[in-house]
């Protein structure tokens, strides 16, 4: 008797003897029934699971899953027993090729061909690595090309052709490092090898094809296994000074784009002003005595000496312009904070390079000076710090707007007075009582992070870039005056993630992709303006939702999936009861059950459960 038949009969008996019960009693009795049933029929269940596992294995040997056919490429033409599965239209061309021929996507007229290592070959390689056989035994094992391990090693060392399957074997045996794969294989092949190394069928939903990895390699990421798709929404049009833009926002927080979009259209005028403060780097050095620190500081305060250091600093880049040097002493240690403008780049690498050259020059002037670290945490980079909030870092941006009282009442469902009172209580008093560092705002980080992700900014810089002071007051005309001040917005439109094509398109949408040819720094300034004004729109909308108590209802509508993402089931043996591919417990608790009739009356369990 099969498990499915057995449990059906036993359930029928259970329903027949338990007809009149409350829903609570039914749930309790059902759970006891399953616990007892599993204990009694454990051997039968294990046999069923073993049979299912054998059927699944047979299925995997005979056919491909759909995702494998469309998400991964063919590598090498091999023997019939170890060839890579390929699309039908590609297969026709492969049939005419010799065994061992590597197939590239371009060979078949594709920008990128679907790509996947054959599952059998992956299993053989993994088993060889897991078994831990002797070197002599391992040398006898052959893979896709039928070559022993030593021959593959020599081929790798001498820059001869190595198939992805062979590269995976070397990777499994520790002969090859992940970072070396791209130097010998096409990027998409290297990624497939790396994914196979991590585990079979691990990355079913993480895509990796249809992406131009030449912008990633040696620029944005190492040991790549794919890319992470993020939803991108549009808020706008947003009016800023004399132009309008639609703002791309990458986020997984429902209601954020909708709320920001609402705030984009409420003001009768919007102004924004950017001040380029400069990027900073502050190495820490040590002298033999505290007196020498004072001597160096006095030396740098001399304009002529400062110009000498400035010349060394700026020799490393045509865009880096040193503005100031500040020395902070701690005993015989000194923190030297360099501040420089960096054109359209965010500028951390540029300033670090210039700082390194300047420190070497200072070392020639002060031979007892010892560099402890190029960054002494007085910069301050990627940490919330009072010095950045007070003195600025990157770009300081101020945005202001006036919202007519009629708009507040009609569209925001509140009044300027109520908004101003809430802003004072929450953004001023509440933040001060909590001692928020740069946190006198409602949710500036939400907007900054979303635009950073969409435009390829350094996501870690959100921690300081989102430090913001938001103000709301009733103007003399009775309207609502709103302003936001972001003193350390660290953004750029060249370098880093801005070179990636999707992120570059988002920058193009804002009219600030790449370097500004007419005015270095002009595009980064425009991006800073857009971020500041979008933050102001988000602040305006959220504060209105808080005042009118609409926050929860909007999030329940837009920030809560209605899909059955985590189906519940009876926690029997800490796992669901799956029989013939069917979760029986899931069906019992989430679907109607019609037991076999045992009399003229039938019992519909859905009415009880």
Taking CA atoms, 404 is separated from 244, 267, 432, in Å, by: 20, 7, 29
End-to-end CA distance of the chain: 29
Residue tagged active-site, from 292, 555, 583, 598: 555
Report the 10 Å Cβ neighbour count for 440.
22
Q: Which residue has the higher pLDDT, 133 or 103?
A: 103
Cβ-in-10-Å burial (0-12, 13-18, 19+) of 36 comes to exposed
Say what the pLDDT of residue 26 is: 62
The predicted-structure confidence for 419-466, as pLDDT tens digits, reads as follows: 999 999 999 999 999 999 999 999 999 999 999 999 999 999 999 999
Torsion region of 227: left, alpha or beta (phi above 0 gives left; psi -120 to 50 gives alpha): beta
Locate all alpha helices (DSSP H) within 199-342, ordered by sequence.
256-263, 290-301, 303-314
Residue tagged active-site, from 10, 253, 314, 391: 253
Say what the pLDDT of residue 422 is: 96
Tokens of 522: 């002009």
Cβ-in-10-Å burial (0-12, 13-18, 19+) of 85 comes to middle
Query: Given pLDDT bands bounded at 50, 70 and 90, which one contains residue 56?
Result: low
The SS3 of residue 256 is helix
Map 435-469 to HEC letters: CCCCCCCCCHHHHHHHHHHHHCCCHHHHHHHCCCE
- What is the average pLDDT value for the chain, to the nearest integer? 80
The predicted-structure confidence for 226-235, as pLDDT tens digits, reads as follows: 999 999 999 9
Question: For 28-42, what is the mean pLDDT?
Answer: 77
Say what the pLDDT of residue 181 is: 95
Question: For 218-243, what is the mean pLDDT?
Answer: 94
Residue 607, pLDDT > 80, answer no
**Which residues are paired to 579 by β-bridges?**
582
Per the annotation, the verdict on 92 as an active-site residue is: no
For residue 238, give the H/E element and its range: strand 232-240
Judge if pTM exceeds 0.75. no
The SS3 of residue 64 is coil
Residue 87, pLDDT > 60, answer no
What's 560's DSSP letter?
A: S
Say what the pLDDT of residue 311 is: 97
Say what the pLDDT of residue 267 is: 74
Highest mean pLDDT among 72-86, 137-151, 152-166: 152-166
Which single residue is written with the structure tokens 């008996």? 13
Question: For 138-154, what is the mean pLDDT?
Answer: 68
The SS3 of residue 329 is strand
**Which residues are paired to 324 by β-bridges?**
339
Q: Which residue has the higher pLDDT, 605 or 558?
A: 558
Based on DSSP, count helices (H) and strands (E) in the chain, helices before strands.
Answer: 26, 12
Q: Are 135 and 173 in contact (CB under 8 A)?
A: no
Question: For 389-414, what is the mean pLDDT?
Answer: 94
Residue 119, pLDDT > 50, answer no
Question: For 209-219, what is the mean pLDDT?
Answer: 93
Query: Given pLDDT bands bounded at 50, 70 and 90, which one contains residue 29?
Result: confident
Question: For 257-271, what is the mean pLDDT?
Answer: 87
Residue 190, pLDDT > 90, answer yes
Say what the pLDDT of residue 4 is: 66
Question: For 57-85, what is the mean pLDDT?
Answer: 43
CA 313 to chain centroid: 34
Of 313-322, 328-337, 475-484, 570-579, the least confident: 570-579
Distance CA 116, CA 192 (A): 6
What would the DSSP string read from start to end of 13-31? HHHHH--S--HHHHHHHHH
Distance CA 438, CA 317 (A): 32
Per the annotation, the verdict on 253 as an active-site residue is: yes
Residue 105, pLDDT > 80, answer no
Residue 595 backbone dihedrals phi, psi, to 5 degrees = -70, 165
The SS3 of residue 167 is helix
Tokens of 409: 């009442």
Say what the pLDDT of residue 178 is: 94
CA 439 to chain centroid: 24
Residue 590, pLDDT > 50, answer no
Which domains does the chain possess?
Answer: 3-57+570-608 (no CATH), 66-229 (1.10.3270.10), 283-373 (3.30.70.420), 394-558 (3.90.770.10)
The SS3 of residue 330 is strand
Query: Given pLDDT bands bounded at 50, 70 and 90, which one contains residue 601?
Result: very low
Residue tagged active-site, from 382, 391, 421, 598: 382
The SS3 of residue 157 is helix
Say what the pLDDT of residue 36 is: 80
Say what the pLDDT of residue 521 is: 95
Work out the percent of the chain whose per-residue pLDDT is above 90: 61
Closest CA to 290 of 325, 256, 328: 328
Closest CA to 521 of 298, 168, 277: 277
The predicted-structure confidence for 534-557, as pLDDT tens digits, reads as follows: 999 999 999 999 999 877 766 566
The predicted-structure confidence for 172-184, as pLDDT tens digits, reads as follows: 999 999 999 999 9
Say what the pLDDT of residue 103 is: 47
Residue tagged active-site, from 396, 458, 490, 539: 458
The predicted-structure confidence for 561-584, as pLDDT tens digits, reads as follows: 677 666 554 444 444 444 444 454
Query: Given pLDDT bands bounded at 50, 70 and 90, which one contains residue 8?
Result: confident
Q: Could you give the maximum distance between any two Cα atoms of the chain, in Å? A: 107
Say what the pLDDT of residue 500 is: 97
Say what the pLDDT of residue 121 is: 37
Residue 96, pLDDT > 60, answer no
Q: Which residue has the higher pLDDT, 28 or 26?
A: 28
Distance CA 539, CA 179 (A): 44
Say what the pLDDT of residue 571 is: 42
């Amino acid at each position: 008797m099969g498990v499915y038949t057995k449990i059906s009969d036993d359930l029928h008996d259970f329903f027949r003897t338990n007809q009149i019960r409350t829903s609570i009693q039914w749930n309790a009795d059902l759970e006891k029934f399953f616990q007892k049933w599993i204990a009694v029929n454990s051997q039968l269940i294990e046999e069923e699971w073993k049979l299912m596992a054998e059927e699944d294995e047979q299925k995997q040997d005979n056919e491909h899953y759909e995702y494998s056919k469309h998400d991964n490429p063919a590598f090498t033409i091999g023997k019939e027993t170890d060839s890579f599965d390929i699309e039908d239209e590609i297969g026709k061309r492969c049939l005419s090729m010799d065994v061992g021929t590597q197939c590239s996507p371009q060979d078949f007229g594709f920008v990128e061909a679907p790509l996947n290592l054959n599952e059998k070959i992956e299993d053989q390689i993994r088993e060889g690595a897991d078994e831990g056989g002797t070197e002599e035994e391992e040398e006898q094992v052959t893979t896709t090309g039928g070559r022993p391990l030593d021959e593959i090693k020599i081929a790798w060392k001498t820059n001869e052709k190595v198939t992805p399957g062979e590269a995976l074997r070397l990777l499994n045996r520790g002969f090859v490092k992940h970072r070396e794969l791209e130097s010998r294989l096409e990027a998409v092949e290297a990624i497939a090898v790396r994914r196979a190394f991590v585990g079979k069928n691990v990355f079913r939903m993480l895509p990796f094809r249809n992406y131009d990895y030449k912008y990633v390699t040696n620029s944005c990421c190492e040991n790549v296994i794919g890319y992470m798709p993020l939803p991108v929404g549009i808020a706008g049009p947003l009016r800023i000074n004399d132009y309008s833009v639609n703002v791309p926002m990458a986020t997984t927080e429902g209601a954020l784009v909708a709320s920001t979009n609402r705030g984009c259209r409420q003001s009768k005028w919007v102004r924004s002003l950017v001040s380029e403060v400069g990027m900073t780097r502050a190495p820490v050095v040590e002298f033999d005595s505290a007196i020498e620190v004072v001597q160096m500081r006095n030396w740098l305060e001399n304009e002529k000496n400062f110009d000498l250091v400035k010349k060394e600093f700026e020799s490393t880049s045509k865009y880096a312009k040193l503005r100031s040097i500040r020395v902070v002493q701690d005993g015989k240690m000194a923190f030297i904070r360099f501040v420089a403008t960096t054109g359209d780049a965010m500028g951390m690498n540029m300033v670090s390079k210039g700082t390194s050259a300047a420190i070497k020059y200072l070392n020639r002037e002060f031979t007892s000076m010892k560099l402890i670290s190029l960054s002494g945490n007085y910069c301050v980079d990627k940490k919330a710090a009072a010095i950045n909030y007070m003195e600025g870092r990157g770009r300081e941006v101020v945005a202001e707007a006036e919202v007519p009282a009629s708009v507040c009442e009609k569209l925001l469902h509140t009044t300027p007075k109520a908004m101003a009172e809430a802003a004072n209580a929450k953004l001023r008093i509440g933040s001060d009582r909590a001692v928020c560092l740069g946190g006198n705002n409602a949710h500036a980080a939400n907007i900054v992070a979303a635009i950073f992700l969409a435009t390829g900014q350094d996501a870690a810089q959100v921690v300081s870039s989102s430090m913001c002071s938001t103000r709301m007051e009733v103007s003399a005309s009775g309207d609502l005056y709103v302003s936001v001040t972001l003193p350390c917005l660290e953004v750029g439109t060249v370098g880093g993630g801005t070179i990636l094509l999707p992120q570059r398109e988002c920058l193009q949408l804002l009219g600030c992709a790449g370097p500004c040819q007419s005015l270095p720094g002009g595009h980064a300034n425009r991006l800073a303006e857009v971020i500041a004004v979008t933050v102001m729109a988000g602040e305006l909308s959220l504060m209105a939702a808080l005042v009118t108590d609409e926050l929860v209802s909007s999030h329940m509508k837009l920030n809560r999936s209605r899909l059955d993402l985590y189906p519940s089931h009876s926690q029997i043996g800490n796992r669901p009861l799956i029989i013939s591919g069917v979760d029986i417990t899931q069906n019992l608790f989430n679907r109607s059950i019609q037991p076999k009739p045992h009399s003229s009356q039938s019992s519909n369990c859905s009415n009880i459960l």
